[in-house]
Amino acid sequence: MKTELPKRILALDGGGIRGALTLGFLEKIETILREREGNPHLLLCDYFDLIGGTSTGAIIAAGLSIGMSAGDIKELYLNIGDKIFGEKYSFFKHPVKRMKAAYSFEPLERALAEVFGNITMGGDEIKTGLCVVTKRADTLSTWPILNHPKGKYFKYNKNMLLRQVVRASAAAPSYFMAQQIDVGDNQIATFVDGGVSLANNPGLQLFLIATLKEFPYRWRLGEDNLSLVSIGTGTYTKRYDAKKIAGKNLLGWAQMIPELFMEDANYLNQTILQYLSNSPTARRIDSEILDLKDDLLTEKPALHYVRYNVLLEENELNGLGLNFNQKQLESLRKMDEAKNKNTLYDIGSRAAARFIKPEHII
């Protein structure tokens, strides 16, 4: 009797320039799969049935979905990182724009246009299931924009330019201006970064999309039926000076909003997905509930789930053979320090070599 292959999902977090860290994990996964399948040209879009991402993860997910290799994505990302976070608005030359965003959106839009051209969400150029997570600011709703032809809103989604959808997902408040898109039915919608939602880590969102009956996939539950690989962009233990936080002004709070959302989103997603699975990569959520190894929400695991991320902390990085002082660590943790792109990629590569095991990828 022929055994049906599990449905496979790849979920990519947001995190600004720290997305470079993700690339090391993707290259390792691609290498494992190519060796396993005996196919040196295998692409991640050939293996995963659904690839989704938020913000910087959406850029990478979209690239993978159109048939770019992990190496192609690396070259692209390391090339455009300086451009995306390189052109700041000046208070003197662009006072109105600078009050709305820190960086010009034009370099990002040019880079996306070069890669995705006029590909639409319904275009045949997209070779696998794709989900781009963004936030519709004018309705306060999280939008997972799908390319599935049986999706409820595909008749509207299919004509959206992929580059505009990705740009919408990456429009981090205070970093870039919002993106407006014609979403059909005589509506112009305003979108901001998908990270300003519970889906900056889109793993749980993609699990719901894959299994809930109101979405078009309706894949079967079970660790032999459904596999989810989730990749982060680095995290760290956050603790700020209480007096300084209390004294923040409006701009200070606005700049901190993405971080506040991403921290909660990340741990909520991890908690629920570890609660639904016997994850071989389960990490401690916090000092109270630990890693949930002794907890399972359902009678049997609902999915096979692995999560790869790196703690941007001295101890973990030392374990990877790296040594950074406190000033360097603080710089690596920022989402807009483009100068760190190559270092972040190196961290991701080292972490992938240490943490990813072939048996994790089913």
In contact, 122 and 157? CB cutoff 8 Å:
yes
3-state SS assignment for residue 91:
coil
Q: Is 119 exposed, middle or buried (0-12, 13-18, 19+ CB in 10 A)?
A: middle
In contact, 146 and 129? CB cutoff 8 Å:
yes
Amino acid identity of 237?
T
Contacts of 35 (CB under 8 A, 6+ apart): none
55, 174, 227, 277: which one is catalytic? 55
CA dist., res. 229 & res. 236, Å (int): 21
CA dist., res. 166 & res. 182, Å (int): 14
46 is annotated as an active-site residue: no
The separation between CA 211 and the C-alpha centre of its own chain, rounded to angstroms, equals 20
3-state SS assignment for residue 132:
strand
Residue with tokens 């407006």: 180
CA-derived radius of gyration, the chain: 20
Nearest Cα neighbor of 183 from 206, 209, 165, 197 is 165
CA dist., res. 81 & res. 76, Å (int): 8
Residue with tokens 């660590």: 329
13 is annotated as an active-site residue: no
193, 197, 277, 349: which one is catalytic? 193
Residues marked as catalytic: 55, 193
